[in-house]
A and B are shown apart, each in its own frame.
Chain A
Amino acid sequence: MSLLSVKDLAIAFGGVRALGGVDLELNRGEILGLIGPNGAGKTTLFNCISGVLIPDSGSIRFEDQPISGLKPHERARLGIARTFQNLQLWGSMSVLENCKTPIDALSRRNIFADAVRLPGALTAERTATERARAVLHAVNLLEYENELAADLPVGIQRRVEIARALCMRPKLILLDEPASGLDAAETDALAELLGRVRDRFQVSMLLVDHDMSLVMRACHYIYVLDFGELISTGRPEKVREDPKVIAAYLGETKEEPAQPASTVSVNGRDREPDTLSDLRAAAGSNTALLKVTGLNAGYGHIEVIRDVNLEVRPGEVVACIGANGAGKTTTLRAVSGVIRPTKGRVTFGGADITGRSAESIVRRGMVHIPQGRGLFAKLTVEETLQLAHYSGAKVASFDVAYDAFPVLKQRRNQMVGTLSGGQQQMVAMARALVVKPKLLLIDEMSQGLAPTVVQQLFERISLFKEQGIAIFLVEQFVDSALAVADRAYIFEQGSVAHEGLASVLRRDQAVLASAYLGSAAEVDASKAPATEADAALRPQMLEDLSVKLPAELKRALQERAERENRNTDELVLEMLGAGKGSEQ
């Protein structure tokens, strides 16, 4: 019997399909992972389940009861709690108050009783306090109970959100990117916490996260979404090896990585440099065009990047890759002046530009094409290019741009918002041709585009190179990015984890896979072969354990699992661990 059953769920925003008929089954006691690249529709699915968005079609059943027509608070009272990607704690309330609110939202208390402090209200208040403290104790947050939620660091806030959800005594918790903004240690602690919480509170979970190490470790079963549709389901180890999943994450199916030289020559390099110092010599200059030292930046209290160091030399193409939430975009934004760094220095062309306004940085010759392309839907192509005047373009003619992207010439009087995604990206890149900056930052050029279009765009990168424009490229299509790049930085959890020659990295799949799908050590730990017995065990055990079977039966089950295979499903392992702990 499934706890949550989603059938054929579809929703579109302004004609753009966000979910196109998604089915999902979640069993009792299960931690189900939901992964997929940016914009795959994961959070949208969450919002539909929790009632914040109304889907266009499809049904959602919870405990065999249709809940599509219920308001968010009614669904919450049925036992669906959730956390939020962008942290929606009640910041001005203490941690304890945050946890008491869902508790008393479940009980019917009236405001009059509260106002005059009737005995019933006081009793309820005490009960709520006790229960909230019990939950906080269980997740090791009791020491923070009197702190204001907004004053806590992100890692703690994420845990408070989980504690708050638990206080509703939910049957299902929807966890929306609980690891985003956490460092490696915090992520480890979180994975451990999720397992513990599941056992102790007997709650099922649906987990969305970009951090594969967390998903692979914590989840029993994984659904993979891309462009609003399911592309794969299965156990973590199976999903990890699914070519479709790898393609969705790493980009197009790979060309032969053994022959990078051919790709390189296409891009105008006559020899493949072997080492970083070779490359520096080849660039003919040791003075960096862009130099970033010890950069910290973030949003509000959330510090996303810490101690980022990197440099880009004139005329060089540098790729910047890493999992979502690793801090690539934040780095770009801090460099180009969109956000103010909290620490560190950025120099560009020898001048210190740390904390300067974005406008002034653009005029110094650094063009930043942000994620989502930074265009204006209601301006025409020609009008948009005319805006390049403000970026320092000297010419009034856009022939350069139209020559490079002939399709734009045909559509010069069309609104940018009506163009296809690829054409929009061309507009954004055409601006760079008109402006001729010293450095071009491109963030997720290929996001939401078809692989063939992406290939065309990558070919245009060489155009910039020919003009001597240095390029700093943040990219999800790793292989293509490495093919055009000279060097690459790999970001992990808010700072630069590796730096290397693009051609070398391109061959080193282990490093890449670890950056996207969790580090190598973790891969090994969970890479146990799944046996048939284990597969048969899964649904049965999960359900049995979560509905409070008698202790003997539970132990019997655990013993059976132990006898048959000590190293099977992660879940079983966790359960066994918990069971042993309580026996000793």
Chain B
Amino acid sequence: MIGRNGRIAAGLAALALLGAVPFLASFSLEFSGAAAVAVLYGFAVLSVVILTGYVGQFSLCQATFMGISAFGTAALVNHGWAYLPAAGVGVTLSFLLGVLVALPALRLSGILLAVVTAGVALSFDYFFFQDNAFSWFNGGVSGWGISGQTIFGQQLDGLSPEHLRTLFLISLGIFAVVAVLVVNIHDSGSGRRFRAIRDSEVAAATMGVDLTRYKLLAFGLSAAVAGIGGAIYPLVQGSVTQSPFNFFYSLQVAAIAVLMGIRFIPAATLGGIFIAFTPPLLPRLQDLASNVLHQPIEIKGLWFQLVLGTLLVVQIILYPDGVWGDAAHRVMALINPPQTRRGAKPVAAARR
């Protein structure tokens, strides 16, 4: 097993490599935009890893946590606030909503929690994000536009490749910091308490873990991480509308996290890249397929969720640990052949 510092170093190195990508490739506006989008969905998937992977609480409203922060940030900016304090308020809003959603979680778990959070996602989607009664918050039908914002003196709006690249690097930096903090929490006493709740709530409670406190904390933390992604969103896209935070995106975020490996932080990076880069690839795939098959093939953006859903179904049946989890097991099995001593088995094999 690679040590903790080794893993963190490897992760940071991988992120640094990703950060170098825009400089290596000839970057276009589209590519830089996708790179920045990858980071902010990385935050979304990371939030699921924290909540479901670490603490075992399943949520179908992670895009809502993103949305409340995105709208909050954008609304405040449009009311004349500077970006950073506005983003701070946005993330705080996410945190508070997370704690609020956690209150029923104290009494519920499993599928019932999934129902409640799905309901929360849907009602925020239709009510706060779409309804004209909340146009002071959601900016009405056209949403909020954002332009001319700066962070640390850097001009940031999603209009030029340079700006997007800077934004990508800044958000990747924040992602790296957050990821390290999350790893620290995972390995520490707090993280052990989280994982204890996931593995056995009864044992956790009878071994001195305060379920109320740690469940609220987990939801708040997870929502805040999603909220960071949400706060970056307006900068990347230049505007905030309801559609990227709707019900289906919440389902999508959860689906991608499960698909990539809900217990693993690297899965967040994979998930972010998957969400951001697959849709732009579809037109190229379309060209390729048309050339190969010698007839026009149309591949629409809808294919993305279609394929995602299919992969999820296949993955759950065949690879319960997700893409990263399963790959990691296989690699580890190559490095350390499975021990026959005491009948130890790899987790994936045992569960099947």
Contacts and interface: CB of A to CB of B under 8 A. Distances in A.
Interface string B166-203: 00000000000000011011001111110110111011
Contacts of A104: 189, 192-193
Interface in A298-334: 301
Interface stretch (B209-217, B253-261, B273-281): B209-217
B221 interface: yes
A121 B188 contact: yes
A117 interface: yes
Contact of A105 (B1, B184, B193, B347): B193
A81 B207 contact: yes
Interface stretch (A17-25, A106-114, A460-468): A106-114
Nearest to A124: B189
Contact of B205 (A71, A114, A147, A148): A71
Nearest to A77: B208
Contacts of B207: 73, 76, 81, 101-102, 105, 164-165, 168
A90 interface: yes
Given A102-B208, A111-B217, A128 B203 contact: no
Nearest to B342: A153
Contacts of B263: 92
B92 to A, nearest CB: 15
B208 A301 contact: no
Contacts of B284: none
A50 interface: yes
B206 interface: yes
Contact of B192 (A101, A117, A147): A101
Contact of B343 (A77, A101, A106, A153): A153
Contacts of A147: 342, 344
Contacts of B184: 114-117
Contact of A52 (B205, B208, B217): B205
B350 interface: yes
Interface string A104-142: 111101110011110001001100100000000000000
B206 A101 contact: no
A115 to B, nearest CB: 4
Contact of B185 (A72, A93, A111, A301): A111
A42 interface: no
Interface in B326-350: 342-345, 347, 350
A16 B200 CA distance: 27
Nearest to B1: A146
A51 B189 contact: no
A89 interface: yes
A146 B182 CA distance: 22
A152 B350 CA distance: 12
A138 to B, nearest CB: 18
A88 interface: yes
Nearest to B212: A71
Contacts of A77: 208
A198 interface: no
Contacts of B203: 84, 88-90
Nearest to A122: B188
Quick one: which of B188, B193, B344 has the most chain A CB within 10 A?
B188
Interface string A75-98: 111000110100011111100010
A73 B211 contact: yes
A100 interface: yes
A115 B181 contact: yes
Nearest to A52: B202
Interface string B1-41: 10000000000000000000000000000000000000000
A138 B76 CA distance: 60
A297 to B, nearest CB: 15
Given A73-B208, A76-B207, A116-B181, A90 B189 contact: no
B200 A88 contact: yes
Contacts of B210: 71, 73, 105
A115 B207 CA distance: 22
Contacts of B345: 151
Contacts of A153: 342-343
A150 interface: yes
B189 A125 contact: yes
Contacts of A51: 205-206
Nearest to B199: A90
Contacts of A121: 188-189
Contacts of B343: 151, 153
B190 A109 contact: yes
A88 B193 contact: no
Contact of B202 (A88, A91, A109, A125): A88
B189 A150 contact: no
6 contacts: A73-B209, A81-B207, A88-B203, A105-B207, A105-B210, A114-B184
Interface of A: 50-52, 71-73, 75-77, 81-82, 84, 88-93, 97, 100-102, 104-107, 109-111, 114-117, 121, 124-125, 128, 146-148, 150-153, 156, 164-165, 168, 301
